Amino acid sequence: MSEAAIDADAAHEDDDHGHHDEPFLGHHFKDHDHQFNTGKLGIWLFLGQELLFFGGLFCAYAIYRGMHPEIFVEGHHFLDVNLGAINTCVLLFSSLTAAWSVRMAQLGNKKGLMLMIALTIACAFGFLGIKYIEYSHKFHEGILWGQLFAPSPEAMEHAMHGVEANSRLHIFFSIYFVMTGLHGIHVIGGIIAYAWLLKRAAAGHFGPNYYGPVDFIALYWHLVDLVWIFLFPLLYLIH
Amino acid sequence: MSAPAVDVGHADYLKHAKGILSWLYTLDHKRIGVMYLIVTSVSLLLGGAFALLVRAELFTAGPTIMEHDTYNRMFTLHGAVMVFLFIIPSIPAALGNFVLPIQLGVKDVAFPRLNLASFYIWVLGACFLMWSMYDSAIDTGWTFYTPYSSDNANAVSAAAMGVFILGFSSIFTGINFIATINKMRPKGMTFFKMPLLLWSLYATSLIQVLATPVLAITLLLLTLERTMGLGIFNPALGGDPVLFQHFFWFYSHPAVYIMVLPGMGVISELIATFSRKRIFGYSFIAFSSMAIAFLGFLVWGHHMFTSGQSKTASIIFSALTFTVAIPSAIKVFNWLATMKGGAIWLTTPMLYALSFIWLFSIGGLTGMFLGTLNVDVHLHDTYFVVAHFHYVMVGGTLMALFGGIYYWWPKIFGRMPNDKMGRLSALLTFIGFNVTFFPQFILGSRGMPRRYYSYLPEFQDLHQISTVGAFILGVGILVGFAGVVMSLKNGKKAPANPWGANSLEWYCSSPPPHENFKVQPEATDPYDFSGWKWDKRTEGYVRKASEA
Amino acid sequence: MAYRENEAEAHDEEHHEHHIMSPKVLIGTWLGLMVLTGLTVGAIKVDFGAQANLIVAMAIAGAKAMLVCLIFMHLWFDQKYNVMIFFGSVIFVVLFISITFIDTKRNEPFRDAYDATNKPTPEGRVLVEPTVSPISTSGSDAAAQPGELKVPEHQKPKVPWPSQLPDTPRVAPTAH
Ligand SMILES: [Cu+2]
């Protein structure tokens, strides 16, 4: 859904009937600046929409943490803080490369732009790889969401040290999986968007005059990072 | 200020390119608007057919024409189709798409591709909804309340995903409109010189962008709940069903304003044009649109007074609900003040506008009863609620939509709609509507619960009156459609400005050329009607010679 | 809703400076983010009290978010309207969460009493024999009768419930 939107949002620049001499300038815009500013407003509105979308999940989180704080304290013992912290660093680094890719496009440095995009994609894959390790570990131990929550006795003992777990503990994992899962889907969306961007960058489409899509997709990528910045302490770091 | 020249001469957008593919791949906002107009009209007829079946069933207590299971499905489908397929996209996506860029004098909306994408996303969502009907129509009511929806055997997931997808269509339209209005206004058009339709579309778009994603996440969680046993809303698993209602109404209360604000914008245009008078209190109407949009976000809990919501929350929500009445009333008073002393021209669109004011006032005032905490405990989930929101949503949106269609039809298709049939339809819908829904206020206040298959004998008379009214309303709508559709074949050719209005869309030919305007014209004062005079030859308005 | 800024900006011919971030600023921001990440992981090991720990964690996350927004996302240099959209959306998220949060405590006693006899599990509710009242009010720890709803004094309705009226038989509370 969102990746389609972000692609469309970035793609609308090169509208069909362009100015004759400017292949990437839409016929209904005055000039590149006009197009860039309009596109930027569009992507910010899209990010606002994303915030409300994740806002629903954060709301569910807040309500359950308010009503049943125990399950959060118990649940976080099942998560691996180290992997979470490493993933945070990976995403932060990818945000740096994403921001740098905008700089490269603005300077018209094609090689640098492609390198930064490639690094961002690599980090995104790295993030998903670590997430995969975490998830498969959980699946293996039967630590799943809601109805499917059936942890092995060892996993239970390891996290709870013999204390009986709250009967709503599975709700914590519903929230954990749905929040990190949707975030993961946004990462995949980012990879698709960046792959498309890499192709266009290789074709030499971007330069100081026209770099809207690089900027917009980077903004989207930073938002994905922002969401994780909050998910990490809310899910992994509970006292 | 020099008025822009009337733009005539090159091929209009309907003839610009030929063949079905030139429509399906079009990026032209006008064609996309027309496609939306077609699909939302079909949805209206479909939802209307469900409504008539429901009303026919209620003609007698007990089984009349269908079983109770079928009945539950019918009212659910009526609600879901009407809300998600018809009312929400109708005015903004159909009329708004057509009119908004031309009123700004630009060639297209800011993101034409996104605009087309949002149309196809609508089609995809509609397919899901249709599939769910074919599979096993849902009977949860259009609200999808948990826990019933968490584990009943019907195609709730397909329907929920359909609505999820439709939501993104709505969001993208909103993004497009905000960006277009913000960045592409013509020279001389500050925010406070825009036609009021644009203000209301702007406010609507803000709600679409900020509220719809919450509906999306709600329905996604519901679908995951059903397919993967997530358990966030399911009390059997320790989840919280009231949380679903908070989520759902955080969207669905503001959605009421997605439905009615564009209608208010249309009415502002109609009232000013056909009263031949500068709209009264322009900035109040403009600000009230924004105020409604903002306050609309803070009142959702008034749908939950009997849900087990805490008393504190209920009291806060009840108090906030009353504040929404203020901007709504401001609009009604301003329309009335505009008409006072104006030279009122009772055209078909104006008849619809007047009927809007009447019906919206009743709908709005009865909303006050329902917003009152203790009264609502009595009236909650009765026919009183049903009557109230139909007065607002049908009396509001449907009347404004028909008014708008009759007003802009000459511009869209270049043909004058059949005036006789238009007037007849305005009369029939007004009478039919009141006969249908006024008795429901009485039914509700006497305790008739909504969504019931059968009823006590003493309710029979009122139910039968209501059913008769529904069929009159149905005929009125069909006559209304016939009046415009038949004009395509034998209607009089429309002049560029049949009504003497002064916003920019009346400066280009009817139908408009492919690119609307070769160069973006300077803004006009949309409520200064003095520059036009009646021209007998074209039977339309032309610029007065002194200014031309 | 702040049309004023927008009005000014829509008519300044849409010219903005294409602000290019210097490597120093970019790397500095990133280092700052890394330090804050270390800080938040460290802070959780210190016991400030459950609520305070949450506040500290959220404050650090907020600081990181501001760094990303203002510098990586260029918001510091961006047009005012974009800033407004983003923080406006944040305000709506906060409104959504905080107003819903008012309602967290809505039915605690009822829910807990219900949970005591109908334990929520991944498989669905299972009936259990309650041992101790789930709600301890004014030190009374009397064992709840199966099916009896124990409600704190201030939550009790002024009018007697149907089950407390003399001639209605006691009925067990059921899920609504
Ligand atoms: Cu409401």
3-state secondary structure of A38: helix
A213 and A107 within one domain:
yes
Q: Closest approach of chain C CAs to the CA of B160, in angstroms? A: 22
Strand partners, B415: B493
Task: Give the DSSP H/E element, type plus range, for residue B532.
Answer: strand B532-535
Would you tell me how many other CB atoms lie within 10 Å of the CB of residue A232?
A: 23
Task: Say yes or no to pLDDT of C136 above 70.
Answer: no
- Residue A23 shares a structural domain with residue A134: no
Report pLDDT for C104: 76
Query: CB-based contact (8 Å) between A53 and chain B?
Result: yes
Residue B284 neighbours by CB distance under 10 Å? 17
Residue B294 CA to ligand 1 centre (angstroms):
13
Question: Same domain for A10 and A109?
Answer: no
How high is the pLDDT of residue B537? 85
Q: B210: which residues sit within 8 A by CB, 6+ positions away? A: A48, A49, A52, B254, B297, C88, C89, C92
Rounded distance between C-alpha atoms, residue B380 and residue B448, angstroms: 10
Rounded to whole angstroms, how far apart are CA atoms C161 and C156? 9
Based on the domain organization, do A15 and A48 belong to the same domain? Answer: no
pLDDT tens string A119-128: 999 999 999 9
Yes or no, beta carbons of C86 and A52 under 8 Å apart: no
Q: What structural domains and CATH numbers belong to chain B?
A: 20-543 (1.20.210.10)
pLDDT at B477 over 70: yes
- β-partners of residue B540 are B535
pTM (2 d.p.): 0.89
C3 touches chain B (CB under 8 A): yes
Tens digits of per-residue pLDDT, B254-311? 999 999 999 999 999 999 999 998 999 999 999 999 999 999 999 999 999 988 888 8
pLDDT computed for residue B237 by the predictor: 83
**A22 and A60 both lie in a single domain:** no
Instruction: Tell which wins on pLDDT, C112 or B85.
Output: B85
Same domain, A191 and A100: yes
- pLDDT score of C164 more than 60: no
Give the pLDDT score at A16.
Answer: 43
Q: How far is the CA of B295 from the centre of ligand 1 (A)?
A: 11
The total of structural domains in chain A comes to 2
Instruction: Note the pLDDT tens digit of each residue in A107-154.
Output: 989 999 999 999 999 999 999 999 999 999 999 888 888 888 888 888
Mean pLDDT of A33-37: 88
Residues 168-207 of A with CB under 8 A from B: 168, 170-171, 174-175, 178, 182
CATH code of the domain in which A220 resides: 1.20.120.80
Which residue spans within A59-198 are E strands per DSSP? none
**Mean pLDDT, all residues of chain B:** 90
Are A22 and A103 members of one domain?
no
DSSP string covering B400-461, please? HHHHHHHHHHHHHHSB---HHHHHHHHHHHHHHHHHHHHHHHHHHHTT-BTT-S---GGGHH
Checking DSSP bridges between strand B532-535 and strand B540-543, what pairing results, if any? antiparallel
pLDDT tens digits for range B160-185 = 999 999 999 999 999 999 999 999 99
A120 and A4 within one domain: no
Q: Does B211 contact A38 at a Cβ distance shorter than 8 Å?
A: no
**Would you state the pLDDT for residue B295?**
92
Task: Select from A173, A164, A166 the least CA-distant residue to A71.
Answer: A166
pLDDT one-digit tens code per residue, C30-67: 999 999 999 999 888 887 777 888 888 999 999 999 99
Q: Are A100 and A197 contained in the same domain?
A: yes
For chain A, what is the mean pLDDT?
86
Is the same domain home to A96 and A166?
yes
Say what the pLDDT of residue C112 is.
73
Range of the domain at A26: 1-30
| Domain shared by A155 and A90, yes or no | yes
Cα separation, A165 vs A78, whole angstroms: 12
The chains found to touch A (3+ Cβ pairs under 8 angstroms) are B, C
Q: Supply B381's token pair.
A: 């989930």
Report A:210-229 residues touching C (Cβ under 8 A). 215, 218-219, 222, 225-226, 229
pLDDT, position C152: 52
pLDDT of B128 higher than 60: yes
Tell me the chain A residues in contact with residue B174 when contact means C-beta distances shorter than 8 Å: 45
Q: Which residues make up the environment of ion ligand 1, defined by Cβ < 5 Å?
A: B 253
Q: How far is A17 from chain C (nearest CA, A)?
A: 22
Measured over all CA atoms, what is the biggest interatomic distance in chain A, rounded to whole angstroms?
74
User: Which tokens is B167 given?
Assistant: 């939501």
Q: Kindly determine whether residue B310 and residue C3, on different chains, have CB atoms separated by under 8 Å.
A: no
A98 and A48 housed in the same domain: yes
For the stretch B367-386, pLDDT in tens is 999 999 999 999 999 999 99
**pLDDT, tens only, B63-97:** 889 988 889 999 999 999 999 999 999 999 999 99
| Contact residues on chain B for A9, CB-CB shorter than 8 A | 111, 114, 175
- pLDDT-wise least confident of B302-306, B469-473, C169-173: C169-173
Q: What is the pLDDT of residue C107?
A: 65
Tell which residue, B291, B250, B446, B274, has the closest CA to residue B353. B274
Angstrom CA distances, A29 to A184, B173, C70, stand at: 36, 19, 28
